[in-house]
């Protein structure tokens, strides 16, 4: 079924019946967008997302060696919508890589990747947005670094405390 476009069955049925992460073209991506049948995921880095993205898209940068945010994966999994993943278009494989990763390793079965990506979407004057209103990593990173800061501070306090106790007990035992 790879690469086939829905002809005889409705778009929703087509999206629900996929048996792998499939590539779609601009016209199918726009139909899914117009009918609100999916969640658009931007696999590019935050800087690229911030410079411009499909309106309503979520920034979910793909990096093969990093784990994914479990809460985000859970919310996308239970959204009961097709995931439409895109990137920078020609020469960029982030959308295909993320699609295959989510399909093969995280049990997402209604997932497509839009290879032509953001450049063609913008070229057709389809809805785009600048800024980071849907960057899922933005608010999480603030909390994450705050947590790391606390761990570092606590570690330093414990190291200094143990060092002080150890050196004091050595001096006491020598005298």
Look up the pTM and report it. 0.68
What digits encode the pLDDT tens for the residues 38-71?
A: 999 999 999 999 999 999 999 988 876 666 777 7
Q: List residues bridging with 147 in a β-sheet.
A: none
Give dist(CA 85, CA 94) in Å, integer.
9
User: Are the C-beta atoms of 23 and 115 separated by less than 8 Å?
Assistant: yes
Percent of the chain with pLDDT over 70: 78
What pLDDT sits at residue 149?
A: 63
Dihedral of the alpha carbons of 29, 33, 35, 36, in degrees to the nearest 10: 130
Pick from 89-98, 116-125, 127-136: least confident: 127-136
Question: Of the candidates 64, 79, 61, 68, which has an alpha carbon nearest to the alpha carbon of residue 15?
Answer: 79
166 pLDDT band, cuts 50/70/90, is confident
Pick from 32-46, 114-128, 150-164: least confident: 150-164
Pick from 35-39, 113-117, 143-147, 158-162: least confident: 143-147
What pLDDT sits at residue 2?
A: 45
- Phi and psi torsions of 42, nearest 5°: -95, 115
What pLDDT sits at residue 172?
A: 66
């Amino acid at each position: 079924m790879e690469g086939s476009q829905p002809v005889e069955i409705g778009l929703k049925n087509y999206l629900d019946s996929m048996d792998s992460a499939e590539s779609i073209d601009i016209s199918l991506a726009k139909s899914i967008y117009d009918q609100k049948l999916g969640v658009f995921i931007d696999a590019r880095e935050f800087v690229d997302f911030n410079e411009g993205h499909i309106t309503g898209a979520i920034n979910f940068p793909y990096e093969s060696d990093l784990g994914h945010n479990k809460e985000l994966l859970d919310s996308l999994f239970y959204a009961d919508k097709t995931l439409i993943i895109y990137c920078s278009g020609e020469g960029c494989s982030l959308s295909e890589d993320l699609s295959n990763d989510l399909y093969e390793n995280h049990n997402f079965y209604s997932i497509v990747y839009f290879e032509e990506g953001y450049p063609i979407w913008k070229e057709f004057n389809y809805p785009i947005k600048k800024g980071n209103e849907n960057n899922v990593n933005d608010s999480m990173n603030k909390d994450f670094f705050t947590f790391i800061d606390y761990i570092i501070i606590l570690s330093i306090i414990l190291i200094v405390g143990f060092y002080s106790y150890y050196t004091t007990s050595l001096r006491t035992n020598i005298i």
